[in-house]
Structure 1
Amino acid sequence: MRKFLMMTLLALVALGVNAEEKKENKSNVNKPVFTTIKENKITSIKNQNRSGTCWDYSTLSFLESEILKKTGKTYDLCEAFVANKTYLDRAIQVVRLHGDCQFAQGGSAYDPIYCLKHYGICPEDAMPLPGTLYGDSLNNFNEFFDVMTPYVQAIAKSKTDKLSTQWKVALQGILDAYLGTCPEKFNYQGKSYTPQTFAQSLGIDADDYVSFTSYTHHPFWTSFAVEVQDNWRNPHSWNVPLDDMMRIIDNAVMNGYTIAWGGDVSEDGFTRMGLAYSIDSKKTQSLSGSDMARWLKLTKAEKKNVLDSLGCKVPEITATQKLRQERFDNWELTDDHGMLIYGIAKDQYGKEYYMVKNSWGETGDYKGIWYMTKNFIANNTMDFIVNKNAVPKDIRKKLGI
């Protein structure tokens, strides 16, 4: 009897394991299996944590990859240096305009390049590590901006007839207290540098970098300042047709370059697990056996289960020039996040993805790397910066760059 009970128990366990395996296999049947087509060298994954500094992290990652490509040397450039210089400049603009513009944590990919050119740069360890000045292990800008923003707004909206010069001194004190003081001199690998001489030693030229976008409210083959609030320095981007915009990205990656990308990651298809699809909701409803009414009633978790079951077979919206413009004009296509495109891969069904370095630490299924379909990038790109030498020759000739 005891032997019979033991055999019965083992059989039940086996059935449970088998059922669990079937359940797992069913849920993972459409999980993408990637084959790398082209992968360019990148530096280590960082974590911006609770700070709106993706523009800083992604662009310095871009510059680090540029240095790595050109010289073979690996650098860890200092985000705090760039943030310190950039937030002071942004505050000065807000005050000049009497508060009639935004003061915020965000920025554009152009800001670190502007900093490199005008102020220089330093390595990460030449300033206090993120968060350490206020007892944290990573950035946390909550208190920092709670202190700084009202101060900047108070100066900008001041009723005085003439501002003193001390408001900048006081603001610099806030910046230095939370980010650290930017060094005038420092030692690196046995040599003494200033931020300017260190920037010059890196072997890259800030004037080599150009920005691209693709919209129809400005003429193609001209440049304009993309109308988003964090583009506060108003740098210009070259406006090219969608197909050419994507051709530039592909050409850059395949020729060993990376891209400092800015765009919209607020869509349902951008997951926290390291994948991004430009989901076609209507086709997805049909495949899931749901009509529109039922689909809208599903909870977020239920919708996620449907999307997870479809995996890399989820239907995608094909990017078009018209759709991009409509979404930009009605505020659907927004400027949410900056990341680094560095490679191309394909899944088991042949769909192609860009390999993208994020700045949220080693999170998700791919430890800080995202696989974003080409459709997603085409639909959700706001603008991007790339080395001008990575641009196809016919486009360079047409633009005169």
Structure 2
Amino acid sequence: MKKTIICFSTLFCSIISFAQKYEFQTIKDAEFSPVISQGATGTCWSFSTTSFLESEIYRTTGKKIDLSEMYNVKYTYLKKAENYVFRQGKAQFGEGGLSHDVINSAKIYGIATEEQYTGKLPNQEKHDHTKMVEELETIVKKAVADTPAKYPNWKQDYTAVLDKYMGDFSTDSNLSANNSFDQQKVVSEKKLSPIELLKSTKLNLDDYVTITSFTHEPVYSKFILNIPDNFANGSFYNLTLDEYIENIDNAIDKGFTLALDADVSETTFSGKNGIAVIPNDINDASIILTEIKPEKTVTPEYRQSEFENFNTTDDHLMHIVGKAKDQKGNIYYKVKNSWGTKSGRDGFVYMSVPYMRLKSISVMLHKDGLLKKTKTALGI
């Protein structure tokens, strides 16, 4: 009888230790703005990067400011249209973009507050670009087919569609720099234009770099990554896979956040469960979304092969705001998503190190978040 009880007890303990639901303990958290939804749009690149800039402003000034995601989207849509038409349709045209598109736009047009420009029409609750994108695509395709010579007003028509769905915005409008997330209203008589608002944040947009890791380019080289949404031909710094992850960890440990571009098409990226993992055993693909299971060891060669066979694609941009660990000590990146607070874990996804090694395309960060050896090697 004793033997039976002991065996049952041992089996019970074994089952309990084997099947463990995720419990996360915070290791490091930076300051970040509330989770919001991008709605029915493909503008994750602006939501993630704008959130990143909001955290950067807080990190450098201690001020919380609610920036408009759609302000730079509108200007970037204009650039995408010119790129498509002047390349005679031999280019990507769509809603997608990358972090450097927000930076490029802000350098020219500045930034706006959400209070000044929501990018929505009066009484419109959620962003929805479904019809707008269809109309924009019709215009640029007509401009290519007819040629701008026969369709000289295509830019005016294109801008009119943007205004129809996103509202008109004048760069001469005055902006308040004092709208904060905590609703503390700071009295100020000075109203700022988008360029003045950018200057007031003390952000130096030239300080932001994008790092990645691929074996088809030399280590420490600066190259243009050939992915569809890189319509602006933005440059990436190439690192070894280990050094790439080391720099992500170093930035988080120092209190920096990072804008992340990653593949979220995997069945083991769960917006519902707020988990992104790479199971060692494919048979664990379903259960690993709720229970801790062993994960795959990701080598540079495996990462490269998954990229080249299109199993890893540039799908979605998010914002890395911290690190956590589960009860077994496994490390995860706390990633702020733009699918609303009902998605994932209150709007966040906990991404494992193996997932980051395999499925992240790149990260943008302030150059001071880089390791000293990396900055030296890259000459920045």
Which TM-score applies when normalising by structure 1? 0.84
- The AA in structure 2 aligned to 1:342 is V
Structure 1 or 2: more helix by fraction? 1
Conservation of the 8 A alpha-carbon contact between 1:210 and 1:385? yes
Conservation of the 8 A alpha-carbon contact between 2:175 and 2:194? no
Is 1:119 the counterpart of 2:109 in the alignment? yes
User: Which residue of structure 1 lines up, in the alignment, with residue 97 of structure 2?
Assistant: 107
Q: What secondary structure does 1:361 align onto? A: coil
Cα shift readout 1:17-70 (whole Å, capped 9, x = no counterpart): xxxxx9xx9899521111111111101111001100000000000000000000
Is 1:229 the counterpart of 2:228 in the alignment? yes
State the distance in 1 between where 2:321 and 2:65 align: 17
State the distance in 1 between where 2:320 and 2:247 align: 12
User: Which residue of structure 1 lines up, in the alignment, with residue 49 of structure 2?
Assistant: 59
Q: Trace 1:171-320 onto structure 2 (pairs within 5 A).
A: 171-183=158-170, 184-188=172-176, 189=178, 190-272=189-271, 273-280=273-280, 283-285=281-283, 304=286, 306-308=287-289, 311-312=291-292, 314-320=293-299
State the distance in 2 between where 1:400 and 1:160 align: 43
Q: What secondary structure does 2:175 align onto? A: strand
Conservation of the 8 A alpha-carbon contact between 2:148 and 2:154? no
Higher-Rg structure is 1
Q: What secondary structure does 1:126 align onto? A: coil
State the distance in 2 between where 1:279 and 1:228 align: 26
- The AA in structure 2 aligned to 1:367 is D
Is 1:132 the counterpart of 2:111 in the alignment? no
State the distance in 2 between where 1:147 and 1:163 align: 16
- The AA in structure 1 aligned to 2:144 is A
Q: What secondary structure does 1:101 align onto? A: coil
- The AA in structure 1 aligned to 2:154 is W
- Structure 1 residue corresponding to 2:141, chosen from 141, 153, 157: 153
Conservation of the 8 A alpha-carbon contact between 2:139 and 2:157? no
- The AA in structure 1 aligned to 2:216 is H
Aligned residues: 354
User: Which residue of structure 2 lines up, in the alignment, with residue 169 of structure 1?
Assistant: 156
How far is the alpha carbon of 1:182 from its aligned partner?
Answer: 2.4
- Structure 2 residue corresponding to 1:331, chosen from 310, 333, 344: 310
Q: What secondary structure does 1:363 align onto? A: coil
Q: What secondary structure does 2:279 align onto? A: coil
State the distance in 1 between where 2:371 and 2:304 align: 24
> Do the aligned partners of residues 277 and 197 (structure 1) sit closer, same or farther apart at CA in structure 2, a change above 3 Å counting?
same
> Do the aligned partners of residues 57 and 254 (structure 1) sit closer, same or farther apart at CA in structure 2, a change above 3 Å counting?
same
- Structure 2 residue corresponding to 1:354, chosen from 324, 333, 336: 333
State the distance in 2 between where 1:173 and 1:199 align: 27
- The AA in structure 2 aligned to 1:148 is L
Q: Which runs of 5+ in 1 are unaligned?
A: 1-21, 289-302
Conservation of the 8 A alpha-carbon contact between 1:185 and 1:192? no
User: Which residue of structure 2 lines up, in the alignment, with residue 374 of structure 1?
Assistant: 353
> Do the aligned partners of residues 138 and 160 (structure 1) sit closer, same or farther apart at CA in structure 2, a change above 3 Å counting?
closer
Conservation of the 8 A alpha-carbon contact between 2:71 and 2:119? no
Q: What secondary structure does 1:376 align onto? A: helix
Q: What secondary structure does 1:191 align onto? A: coil
Which TM-score applies when normalising by structure 2? 0.89
- The AA in structure 1 aligned to 2:225 is V
- Structure 2 residue corresponding to 1:85, chosen from 75, 92, 98: 75
How far is the alpha carbon of 1:159 from its aligned partner?
Answer: 4.6
Runs of 4+ in 1 over 6 A off after TM superposition: 25-28
Conservation of the 8 A alpha-carbon contact between 1:274 and 1:365? yes
Cα shift readout 1:231-278 (whole Å, capped 9, x = no counterpart): 110110001100010011000000000000001011111112211101
Is 1:70 the counterpart of 2:60 in the alignment? yes
State the distance in 1 between where 2:22 and 2:63 align: 33
- The AA in structure 1 aligned to 2:195 is Q
User: Which residue of structure 2 lines up, in the alignment, with residue 296 of structure 1?
Assistant: none
